[in-house]
Amino acid sequence: MTYIDGFVAAVPIENKDAYLEHARVTGPVFKKYGALRIMDNWGDEVPDGEVTSFPLAVKAKPGEVIVFSWIEWPSKEARDKGMEQCMADPVFNDEDATMPFDGKRMLIGSFETICEI
C-alpha cells in the first residue's frame, strides 16, 4: 500500500498565484525523488466549526483560504528516502524563497494507507 504525507494550511487569498508557483516548483522535486502523485487543493467549501474544523485547526484569519494537499509515495521506505533527498535538494534550501503562507500554522502528518478502493 502507498504512504501519504498530508498538509493543511491557511493561505492568504492574494497569495494564490504565489502558492501555485510554489507548488509548481516543489512538486517536481518530490516526483524526482520518488513521489507518485502530488495534489494541491484550494478550499471551496470549508466550513467554520464550533468545536473543530480545518479553519480552526490552522487558526485561519479573515481573507485566508484553506489549502489541503498531499503527496503519495509507493511506501514509507520510499518516502523516507525521497524526503531526505528532497530536503537536501537546492530547491528546498533557497534562503531567498518566500513561503506564500504561515508555515507555523500548517498541519503536517504522514499516514499509512490501510484501505484503497
Domains in the chain, ordered, with CATH?
Answer: 3-112 (3.30.70.100)
**What is the average per-residue pLDDT within 30-42?**
98
Query: For residue 76, what pLDDT band results from cuts at 50, 70 and 90?
Result: very high
Write down the mean pLDDT value for the chain. 96
What would the DSSP string read from start to end of 42-97? E-SS----SS--HHHHTTPPTTEEEEEEEEEES-HHHHHHHHHHHHHSGGGG-TT-
- Per-residue pLDDT reduced to its tens digit, 1-19: 899 999 999 999 999 999 9
Please tell me the predicted confidence (pLDDT) of residue 63: 97
DSSP state of 34: T
pLDDT of 23 higher than 90: yes
Q: How far apart are CA 18 and CA 5, in angstroms?
A: 22
Q: What percent of the chain has pLDDT over 70?
A: 100
pLDDT of 96 higher than 80: no
pLDDT of 95 higher than 80: no
Query: For residue 84, what pLDDT band results from cuts at 50, 70 and 90?
Result: very high
**What is the average per-residue pLDDT within 74-93?**
96
Which of 28, 33, 32, 10 lies closest to 84, judged by CA? 33
Q: Which three cell numbers stand for residue 47?
A: 466550513
Please tell me the predicted confidence (pLDDT) of residue 93: 87
